Structure 1
Amino acid sequence: MSERNTSIDIAKGIGIILVVFGHNWIIAHDHGELFRIIFSFHMPLFFFLSGAVLHQDADFRDFLVFKIDALLKPFFVVLSAWGLARIVWSGIDARSYFWGMLYGTGSTIEWVPLWYLPHLFLAIILAWILLRLMHRLRPGMLLPALSTAILLALGIVMTQQFAGMDAQQFEGLNRAVGNHQHNFPGLPWSLDLVGISTAFILLGYVMHEHVMRFRFQPWMFAIALLLFAALHFFFDETIDLNMRLYGNWWISTAQAILGIYLVLSLSSCLQYAGLPGKALAYLGTSSLFIMIFHSWTEWKIFGMLSRVSTYAYLNASLAFVAGLLLPLLLLMLVKKNKFLHSLLLPRTHIPKVRGSA
C-alpha cells in the first residue's frame, strides 16, 4: 500500500482554513472582495480533491456503506441532536425542522454548512457510477474528461435556471421545510447542483496522476497567480453554490481551476516545511469534522466576545481561531469516547483509495 499523499492533506488543510474564514464575520458582514476571492474556488477545491483520491474500482457496496457512514451519519446525528435541543428549550416547530433536515439544503437546515455532506454523498456516488460505466465502455481518460465538460455545462444551466425561479411559487414548500429565507430552497440534497460538483470531482479524477506527482514550478505559479488576480480585477466573478450563484461560465471556471492550482502549488511546497506543513496536514485530515462544527462555534464565540468588546475585527479574528481549534479539541474527545466515536466518526474501513494509505 502506497504512502499517504501529504500534499493532498495540506491542500485540504488550506481549504478548510478558507472555509472557516469564509464564514467568519470579517468576510460575511459585507460579502466584499475577500468573500468573492475565497468563494471563487474553495468549494470546487474540495470536490476536486475528492475526485483525486476516488477509486472507482472499489466494490460499490463497500464504497456506499463507507460514504453513508462518513457523510450521512454525522449529518443526521448532529442535526437530530440539535433539533431535539431546540424543540425542548426553544419550542421550535418539530415537524418543519425535521422535514427541513431531510430535505437537506442550506436554506432548510439551521447549521447551514452541513448542506455539503448529503450533497457530497450524492455527487461522489454519481461520479463513481459514471466512471464505472465509462470504463466499461472505453477505458482511458478521454470519456471522463468529455463528461466533465458536459456535466459542468449542464450543472451551470440548471443552477442558473433554478436561481431565476419565482420564490412565491414555493411558499408551501418553504413552510413545510422551515425555510424562512423565502427563496427557492433548491432540490433535496442540493441535487440541482450535482452537475457542477460532480464535474469537479471528475476533473480531480482525470488529473489524479498529475496531482499525486505535483511539483512546485515557480514560473507556472507566478503566471497562475497573475491570471487569477487579473480575472478578479477585470471581471471579479465568484461562486456560491449554497446560494445558487455561478458567475460567468468561462471566468468563474477559470478562476476556480487557477485557485485549485495555486493551492496545490502551495501544498507541494509546504509538505517540506516541517511543523507548518504537519499542522496543515492535521487540519486537512480533520477537515470534515471542522466543516461540521466550525460555523456554530465561531459565531457563538463572536457573539460572546461582542458583548464585552466593541472591536469587531479582533472579536472575529479570535472567533476564527476558535472555529478551527475548538472542533479539533472536540474531535480529540470524540475519539476517546466509544459511544461518540460510533455516532460521529466512520466505523467502517475506507475502501482502498488510489494513491492513499
Structure 2
Amino acid sequence: MKHRWIQMDIAKGIGILMIVYGHSWFVANSLELQYPIIASFILPLFFFLSGVFFKPEQPFVEMAVRKADGLLKPFFFTMLVYVIVRDVLRGQPLLPDIGGVLYASVDTIPWQALWFLPHFWVAILFSWVMLRLIQRLKLSLPVSCLLMVLQLLIGIWILPWFWQVPVSIGGQTWVVPGLPFGLEITLISSTYFICGYLLRDWLRRHEGSWLALVISVALFAAVFLGSHATMDLAQRRYDHWLWTSLLAV
C-alpha cells in the first residue's frame, strides 16, 4: 500500500474548504476583511500544493494531452452546452458567447469561477518548460529560487498590460478582457507552482509546531494590518510586489 503524505492531504483538504468558503455569501459580503485575507493566499496555496506533486520528467505532449483531458475537456463541454442552451432559449446570438468561451477569460464566460481551469492548464505547461530548463542547467536550489523571484517580479510588472485596456480596431473601440486562458497571469501562478516542486524535499523533512503556527499567524496579521495588500489574479490584482508576496508565503 502506497504511503500517504498526511501533511499534504491535510493541506489539500484545507485548501479545498477555503476555496469553497471563499466563493460563499459570507466572503462576498465582507469585502474589507474576509475577502482580502482569503484571496491573499488561497490561489498561491493551490498552485504550490499542485507543484509539490508535479512530475516534470514526463514527456511534454503526453502531459499536455492528459492535463487537457482533465481540465479543458470538462470546462469547454460544460461552458459550451450551457451557453448554447441558454442562448437558444433566450433567442440570443450564439457566436459571441461561443467565442467568449473559447477565449476563456474571466470576463468572457458566464460562470466566472471556472476561469481557473484553462489557466491552470497553461500554468502547468509553462512550469514544465521552466523546470526542465532548471534541470538542464543544473541550477542549485538558491539560484532556482532567485530565478523564481525574478519571474514573479516580471509577472507583476506585465499584469495590467492586457487587462481592461481599450483598443481601437476599424473605428470601433474594444476593451481587452485579458489574454486568452489568462496567459498574462502565467508568470505569477507558475512561480508558486514551481516553488512547490522545488521545496518538496524540504517539506517532507519539515516538522510543524504550534510555535511555528503562532509565529506565522502573527506575521501574517502584522503584514496584512500594516499594508492591507491582497491579490485577485482573476481580476489581475496584485497590490504590492513585496507585501502581497509575503502574505502568500
Structure 1 unaligned spans of 5+? 175-182, 258-357
Matched to 1:23, the amino acid is H
Residues 26-54 of structure 1 show CA distances to partners (whole Å, capped at 9, x for unaligned) of 21135220001000000111111111111
Q: Does 1:196 align with 2:185?
A: no
Match of 1:46 in 2: 46
Q: What is the distance in 2 between the residues matched to 1:93 and 1:6?
A: 50
Match of 1:134 in 2: 134
Contact 1:54 1:205 in 2 (8 A): yes
Q: What is the distance in 2 between the residues matched to 1:143 and 1:72?
A: 33
Match of 1:354 in 2: none
Contact 1:56 1:131 in 2 (8 A): yes
Q: What is the distance in 2 between the residues matched to 1:144 and 1:49?
A: 18
Contact 1:154 1:195 in 2 (8 A): yes
Instruction: Give the C-alpha shift of residue 96 in structure 1.
Output: 0.8
Q: What is the distance in 1 between the residues matched to 2:204 and 2:161?
A: 37
| SS state at 1:149 partner | helix
Instruction: Give the C-alpha shift of residue 88 in structure 1.
Output: 2.4
Instruction: Give the C-alpha shift of residue 7 in structure 1.
Output: 2.6
Instruction: Give the C-alpha shift of residue 89 in structure 1.
Output: 1.9
Match of 1:244 in 2: 236
- Backbone CA RMSD of aligned residues: 2.1
- Size of the aligned set, in residue pairs, is 248
Match of 1:35 in 2: 35
Match of 2:120 in 1: 120
Residues 62-110 of structure 1 show CA distances to partners (whole Å, capped at 9, x for unaligned) of 2122111111111111111212221222233211111101110110001
Partner of residue 185 from structure 1, selected from 173, 177, 183: 177
| SS state at 1:92 partner | coil
TM-score of the aligned structures, taking structure 1 as reference length: 0.65
Q: What is the distance in 1 between the residues matched to 2:10 and 2:54?
A: 17
Match of 2:213 in 1: 221
Match of 1:25 in 2: 25
Match of 2:73 in 1: 73
Contact 2:162 2:179 in 1 (8 A): no
Matched to 1:71, the amino acid is L
Contact 2:52 2:197 in 1 (8 A): yes
TM-score of the aligned structures, taking structure 2 as reference length: 0.91
Contact 2:166 2:173 in 1 (8 A): no
Instruction: Give the C-alpha shift of residue 166 in structure 1.
Output: 4.1
| SS state at 2:242 partner | helix
Q: What is the distance in 1 between the residues matched to 2:63 and 2:228?
A: 39
Q: Does 1:60 align with 2:56?
A: no
**Structure with greater strand percent:** 2
Partner of residue 254 from structure 1, selected from 230, 243, 246: 246
Q: Does 1:97 align with 2:97?
A: yes
Closer/same/farther in 2, CA of residues 80 and 161 from structure 1, 3 Å limit = closer
Matches within 5 A, 1:123-162: 123-138=123-138, 140-162=140-162
Q: What is the distance in 2 between the residues matched to 1:161 and 1:132?
A: 28
Q: What is the distance in 1 between the residues matched to 2:87 and 2:29?
A: 29
Partner of residue 209 from structure 1, selected from 201, 205, 217: 201
Partner of residue 233 from structure 1, selected from 225, 240, 247: 225
Contact 1:131 1:144 in 2 (8 A): no
Instruction: Give the C-alpha shift of residue 169 in structure 1.
Output: 5.0
Matched to 1:233, the amino acid is L
Contact 2:47 2:189 in 1 (8 A): yes
Instruction: Give the C-alpha shift of residue 61 in structure 1.
Output: 2.8
Q: What is the distance in 1 between the residues matched to 2:4 and 2:29?
A: 39
Closer/same/farther in 2, CA of residues 140 and 62 from structure 1, 3 Å limit = farther
Instruction: Give the C-alpha shift of residue 168 in structure 1.
Output: 6.4
Instruction: Give the C-alpha shift of residue 173 in structure 1.
Output: 8.0
